[in-house]
Structure 1
Amino acid sequence: MATDLVNTSPAVRSSGEILTTPAALTQFLTEHGIHLDAVTQGRRPTEEDLDQVRALRQEVRTILEAATEEDVVNAATALVTRAGIGPSLHRDADGRWQWYVATSSNASLADELAVLMGTGLLGALRTLSHDRFRHCTAPACNGMFVDTSKAGRRRYCMPDICGNRRNVANYRARKMADGEGAPQGP
């Protein structure tokens, strides 16, 4: 979710800002399984929430771009402690154990998300290592991601978009090199 938030930025998307309205923020949260009653006491996000989440987006990007593991740990821990009280395990509706991080009752939506993302980033660092925090390798893309693939060889922030564009460009270049795309003579 942290990298997906970073990749909603107009600096990443050629289509511009993804989080344009509180409704767009609500959709983003819903797509990531975040229930508003769990983070905002059931109220809809406001313009203020939207501004704070956009600011959080830049904080998360800074963590992903951190030069050292220690920098990641310090910054992600700062996110967790903004509103976090402590982690615990609870069973979800399907009976599976899930991590829950309790937060203070007066935490803003951005603070709630900061706790969630900071916890996730710390877990990713511990499990995968700092070298899995990466920039997209597609030309003209400024996206980021945490490579959670088994082999650790992921190259694109959005494989279905950036990877596909790169594959199509490579295919067309090969066709041109083979003379198949070149103009035909009389």
Structure 2
Amino acid sequence: MQVSLSDYVRAAGVTTDLVNTAPGVWSGMDKLPDTTALDAFLREHDITAGAHELAGADLDGVRELRASTRTVIDNPDPAQLVSGATSLTAGLGSPTLAIDETGLSSWAVTAGENTPVAQRLALVCAVGILGVVHTLGAGRFRPCVAPTCSGAFIDTSRPGRRRYCMPGICGNRVNVANHRARTRST
């Protein structure tokens, strides 16, 4: 598995989606309750499980990664974001120059075929965090502003004004609540 260092927007999206699978974000419901859900998450984000079948140890590793990644993105200090993201990938691999089918090259980090799925996801999360810190700044790591949500996200939008971890869910809930409050008052 190869993760391009220039693909930080996709990697930041995977990171946001991973941390928001936690039970606290979903009103006590874990979005990664078993290996079937983990497999669906990986397929949704086009991440391969490597050379082995998913097992309980993989699920435990991904849950640990989810918690440690959340700890990293909850602290928007640039130095701590960089050191936290770097620690996620300790001992994984070194950057290399990858050349695609069109002949264009980009920096990438490669994980071996036998690399556990949690380390593969850690590599993607680290690329997302480091790329956003480098390109957009540490101010793009935010908590969701919805009053009933404890999610967090990495804002990779062009204007940088995103407010909700899941705009389609949290944003809609807030908009519906505001609409109902307006119609009740009239």
For the superposition of Structure 1 and Structure 2, which TM-score range results when normalised by the shorter chain? 0.7 to 0.9
Q: Which amino acid aligns with 2:57?
A: E
- The alignment partner of 1:89 has SS state of strand
2: distance between equivalents of 1:46 and 1:6? 20
How far did residue 167 of structure 1 move? Answer: 0.3
What is the TM-score when the length of structure 2 is the normalising length?
Answer: 0.85
1: distance between equivalents of 2:163 and 2:103? 35
1: distance between equivalents of 2:146 and 2:15? 20
Aligned to 1:75: 84
1: distance between equivalents of 2:144 and 2:91? 29
Pairwise CA RMSD? 1.9
Unaligned 5+ residue runs, structure 1? 179-186
Aligned to 1:88: 97
How far did residue 96 of structure 1 move? Answer: 7.2
- Residues 8-23 of structure 1 aligned to structure 2 (within 5 Å): 8-14=21-27, 16-23=29-36
Larger radius of gyration: 1
1: distance between equivalents of 2:129 and 2:19? 13
Native 8 Å contact 2:89 2:122 kept in 1: yes
CA gap of 1:149–1:131, structure 2 versus 1, over 3 A, is same
What is the TM-score when the length of structure 1 is the normalising length?
Answer: 0.85
Identity %: 43
Count of residues in Structure 1 that have an aligned counterpart in Structure 2: 173
1: distance between equivalents of 2:108 and 2:20? 25
Native 8 Å contact 2:76 2:139 kept in 1: no
CA gap of 1:28–1:95, structure 2 versus 1, over 3 A, is farther
Unaligned 5+ residue runs, structure 2? 1-13
- The alignment partner of 2:126 has SS state of helix
How far did residue 86 of structure 1 move? Answer: 2.2
